[in-house]
Chain A
Amino acid sequence: MEGQVHIHWNWIVAVDLFAAGLSAGAFIISATAYFLGKERYENITRIGAYIAPFPVMIGILALIYDLERPQLFWKLFLTFQPNSVMSLGSWLLLFFSIFSLTHLYLWLPERLDFFKIFPPIRSSRFLSRFRGDNLTKIRGLVAGFGIPISIGVAIYTGVLLGALTARPFWNNPMLPMLFLVSAMMTGSASICFVGCFIKGFRGMSRENINTNKFMIHSIDFTLMVFSIIAVFLFILGLYVSPRSSVAAVHLIMGGEFTFLFWTFVVGVGILVPLALEVYELIPHYIEQVELREHSPWISGIITTSVLIGGFAMRYIVIYAGQMAQIITT
């Protein structure tokens, strides 16, 4: 019976980790862009604010659905267990949902400010302080306090798995880092996708398009370099650990998940978009020439492949982690 494998966490958990990471990443990018330039990067901030609340909601629903007793999920919020990453994570997700919804509300256009429809809210002096003159201040506060919470959400998805000594494939300090970098990558990819294909460029000057485009591509480029480093250190970390970890890393280095991992996570998820980013950015970096004309093909391939790679990474880590067991004499 040794080596018998039970998969108790399936792709639904991978969906949750992916969605929570995507939302957290979108929030981080959106809030950071807000602080770097309120007017210059307004598009990035706004799109990020529109995206952030929704994937995480799907993720939370997936997580609740995955419980064996979904009707009892509220018991998570009756207690706080600092030792349990699951407990920390559920609280983080709760606060993150509140912050990302507030962030979304603050960035809604004036005509969609649905709270103004209700006279008591419109006339309430206390509530009206949250809009109007104080808007900049409130936006800044929500974005500022939201950043640490969203970083917490992005890291929690990795620590949830990495904190278990019983699973050698997960029990690696680089895993949460890999999840954080990947979360920010998928976040910025989703912003880029919505910006290029759903919102479109109507009403934007060429200069405005270029600043936003340059910003999002630079973020992507940096994150991809870091994610290559994180993948390298993750694999190295498993190789230089005890026997069980070496056996675990064989799942992606010659074992069952080799093809999936190297094709989808490294190839599609990192190398293809990195090559396209280099094509877009390097001439601009080196010769300081104008950015290339916007091509929907390049943006489309970059964003979809990053999203595919991000999900594939969660999926493989979830399954491989449960297949790898501690080996003892």
Chain B
Amino acid sequence: MARYGMVIDETKCVGCHACRVACQNLNGLAEKEAYNHLEEREYGAFPNFSREFLPVQCQHCDNPPCVKVCPTRASVKLKNGVVLVEKSKCIGCKYCIAACPYNVRIIKKAGYIEKCRFCIDFIEKGEKPACMTTCMTGVRMFGDLDDPNSEISQYIIKHRLKQFKAELNTKPRIYYKKA
């Protein structure tokens, strides 16, 4: 069984928000709803300073706090590594929103919680997620983390990539390449 993961190369991101728009189009989201967002920050001191964009979406953690805290088992972790919300079970208590350190969960109008689904319909057919295919600078890389010979696994080992907020023991499946 493949266990999907992603690499996000922060150094390539130019902050065009195309991934956000592609995701919104695909999932039929309103203007202010988004499953992925860019965290923007400035760092360094004059004259050596710069600005970076950090694309953040559901990290599909291996130790997902949202699944642990869900009182009705609406948040589930699939065998292929994807974390999903079963909307028929969700009662909208918003506890998972409070538990998620990445702030990527949103409330839909119908009253259930939704978030990035890793474009599960696409990846099961062997295609790539929409945020990845739309990106003009190739920030994202998608693949099977269980296969040590896959492109993504080799890339993670080669660049010694780290996860985002890994100190919280969420064991995220998205790796970041930082400047």
Question: B-contacting residues of A (Cβ < 8 Å)?
Answer: 1-2, 4, 6, 8-9, 66-69, 72-73, 75-76, 78-79, 81, 83-87, 90, 160-161, 163-167, 321-322, 325-326, 328
B93 & A67 in contact (Cβ 8 Å cutoff)? yes
**With A84-B95, A86-B95: A1-B71 Cβ-Cβ less than 8 Å:** no
Q: Known A8-B107, A326-B165; judge A67-B71 contact (CB<8 A).
A: no
Q: Identify the interface centre among B94, B100, B112, B167: most chain A CB within 10 Å of its CB.
A: B94
Q: Is B94 touching A68 in the complex (CB atoms < 8 A)?
A: yes
Q: Which residues of B have CB within 8 Å of A161?
A: 98
Query: CA A326 – CA B165 in complex, angstroms?
Result: 8
A326 touches B168 (CB 8 A): yes
Report A-chain residues with C-beta under 8 Å of the C-beta of B103: 4, 6, 325
Residues A1 and B98 in contact, CB atoms below 8 Å apart: no
With a CB–CB cut-off of 8 A, which chain A residues contact B98? 8-9, 161, 164, 166-167, 321-322
CB of A166 within 8 A of CB of B101, answer yes
Known: A2-B40, A68-B107. A8 touches B72 (CB 8 A): no
Residues of B within 8 A of A1 (CB): 37-40
The segment from B62-70, B118-126, B133-141 found at the interface with A is: B62-70
The A-B contact count (CB < 8 A) is 97
For residue B107, give the distance in angstroms from its CB to the closest CB of chain A. 6
Is the beta-carbon distance between A83 and B69 smaller than 8 angstroms? yes
* Known contacts A75-B91, A86-B93; is-contact A69 B111 (Cβ 8 Å): yes
Q: Do B101 and A72 touch across chains, with their CB atoms under 8 A apart?
A: no
Q: Are B92 and A165 in contact (CB under 8 A)?
A: no
Contact at A165–B101, with CB atoms within 8 Å? yes
B52 CB, nearest partner CB in chain A, Å? 10
Closest to B53 in A: A1
Q: Which of B39, B71, B91, B97 has the most CB of A within 10 A?
A: B71
- Shortest Cβ distance from A315 into chain B, in angstroms? 16
Tell me the smallest distance from the CB of A167 to a CB of chain B, in Å: 6
Closest to B41 in A: A2
Contact partners of B70 in chain A: CB under 8 A: 81, 84, 86
Number of interface residues of B (CB under 8 A): 36
Q: Does B3 make an interface contact (CB < 8 A)?
A: no
B59 CB, min distance to chain A CBs, angstroms: 12
A322 / chain B contacts, CB cutoff of 8 Å: 98
Cβ contacts under 8 Å, B22 to chain A: none
Complex CA gap A160/B94 in Å reads 12
What would 29 A/B residue contacts be, using CB atoms closer than 8 Å? A1-B37, A9-B98, A66-B94, A69-B90, A72-B92, A73-B91, A75-B91, A76-B72, A76-B91, A78-B72, A79-B73, A81-B71, A81-B72, A84-B68, A86-B71, A90-B71, A160-B95, A164-B65, A164-B69, A164-B99, A165-B65, A165-B168, A166-B101, A166-B168, A167-B98, A326-B101, A326-B168, A328-B165, A328-B167
Shortest CB distance B115–A (Å): 13
Chain B residue numbers with a CB within 8 Å of A66 are 93-94
Given contacts A76-B91, A328-B164, 17 further A-B contacts (CB under 8 A): A1-B38, A1-B40, A2-B40, A6-B103, A67-B91, A68-B107, A69-B92, A75-B91, A81-B72, A81-B73, A85-B69, A86-B71, A86-B93, A87-B72, A90-B71, A166-B100, A322-B98
| Chain A residues with CB below 8 A from B107, complex form | 8, 68
Give A91's nearest chain B residue, CB to CB. B71
A161–B101 alpha-carbon span in the complex (Å): 14
